[in-house]
Amino acid sequence: MIAACLLLIILQLSLHLNSAGDWQLIFWQLRLPRLLFVLGTGLCLGLSTLLLAATLRQPYIDGSMLGIANGAELLVALLVILNANILTYRVLVGALAGVVCLGLLRASVFKLKTRPLFMIIGGFCLAMFFNALTVILTSNSGWTGKSMGNVTWTDVIWLLIILVAGCFLWILAGQYLQYFALPEIQTRQLGFNEDRAALIFQLIAALWLGAATAVLGTAFFAGVVLNQLIKELTKLGLVARLPFVGIFSILVVLVADTLGHFAFYPTELPTNAVLLLLLAPAFVFLIVRWSRAV
C-alpha cells in the first residue's frame, strides 16, 4: 500500500506538468498543497470513522451518517455566503462545526446508544436535514467551497494544526482506546470511565472529519467501507488496525483524487463523487461477505 501511495504521489505531482509553461507556479501553488491536503484528508476520514465506531460500539457507523460531515459543510457554506473572506478559514470553520455537531449528537442521538437502530436513524435524519439546508443555501449562490482543485497553503496549514491538536489529545487518552475492544460490562468491572475517554476520542474524530469535509465534501458511508474492508481482510484487533486503516484510507482517497483530477483533464471531477464510485463495488463485496457469514 505504501508503494502504491508513493507511485500516486509521483503521478499527482508530475502528470501534464511539462506541457505547462509556468510549471513551477503550478507545482508549488496548486499540485503540492493539493497533494498534502489529500494525504491529510485520507488519514482524517479513515481514523475518524474508526474512533467513532469504537466509542459508540457500532462498527457500521461513521460521521457522514451522524450529521457531523454535513454539519461542517452547512456551517462553512453559511459563513462563506455571509462573508466570502471566511473561505480562507474553511478548514478551521469545518473543524469547529464538527465539534458543535458532536455536542448536539451527545445531547440527543448518542443517548440512544443502547438502541443502535434508533441512533443510526436519528443521526441520518440530522445528516439529511443539514444536507437539505446546504443545498437550499448554495443553489443560487455560486458557492464553490467544496473542491480539491482550489486547495491553498492556508488550507494545508490549518489541516496540519488540527491534525497536531488531535494527535495531542490522542497522546492524553490513547492508552484507553484498547478498552473499547472489550465488552462494555467488562470495562465497568475494571473501573474504566468509558464516557470520559469516549468524549476525547469523539472530539478528535469530529475535529478531523469536520476539517477534511470542509474541502472534500460529504462522502456517505466511505469511512465505514474503508474500515470494514481492513477489518475483514486483516482480521486484526482495534488498535492493531490503526496503521492499516490510515494508510489504506490515504491510498483510496489518493486514487479518487488522481482519477478526478486527470481522468478528463483539464476538466475536474469531484473527488468525493469519484471516491463513492470506487467504494460502491467494495460495499457490495462486504454485503455479500456478511450475508455468507450469517
pLDDT tens string 219-231: 888 999 999 999 9
Kindly tell me if the per-residue pLDDT of 169 is higher than 80. yes
Kindly tell me if the per-residue pLDDT of 293 is higher than 80. no
pLDDT at 264 (0 to 100):
84
Find residue 267's DSSP bridge partners: 264
Work out the pLDDT band at 19, boundaries 50, 70, 90: low
How many beta carbons lie within 10 A of that of residue 194, not counting itself? Answer: 17
Q: What is the pLDDT of residues 211-220, one digit of tens each?
A: 999 999 888 8
CA 124 to chain centre: 16
Kindly tell me if the per-residue pLDDT of 16 is higher than 80. no
- Mean pLDDT, residues 124-134 taken together: 91
Kindly tell me if the per-residue pLDDT of 274 is higher than 90. yes
**How many whole angstroms separate alpha carbon 51 and alpha carbon 57?**
10
Q: Where are the domains of the chain?
A: 36-220
Give the orientation angle of helix 194-216 with respect to helix 153-173, to 10 degrees: 170
Kindly tell me if the per-residue pLDDT of 294 is higher than 60. no
CATH number attached to the domain at 36-220: 1.10.3470.10
- For residue 167, CA distances in Å to 148, 162, 164, 275 come to 24, 9, 5, 26
pLDDT at 267 (0 to 100):
83
Number of residues that make up the chain: 294
* Average model confidence (pLDDT) across the chain: 89
pLDDT at 262 (0 to 100):
87
Query: For residues 68 and 143, which has the higher predicted lDDT (pLDDT)?
Result: 68
- Mean pLDDT, residues 78-100 taken together: 92
* 44 contacts 58 by C-beta, under 8 angstroms: no
Q: What is the pLDDT of residues 243-273, one digit of tens each?
A: 999 999 999 999 999 999 888 887 888 999 9
Q: Which of 85-94, 196-205, 274-283, 285-294 has the lowest mean pLDDT?
A: 285-294
- Mean pLDDT, residues 55-75 taken together: 91
pLDDT at 168 (0 to 100):
96
pLDDT at 135 (0 to 100):
86
Find residue 264's DSSP bridge partners: 267
DSSP 89: G
pLDDT at 155 (0 to 100):
96
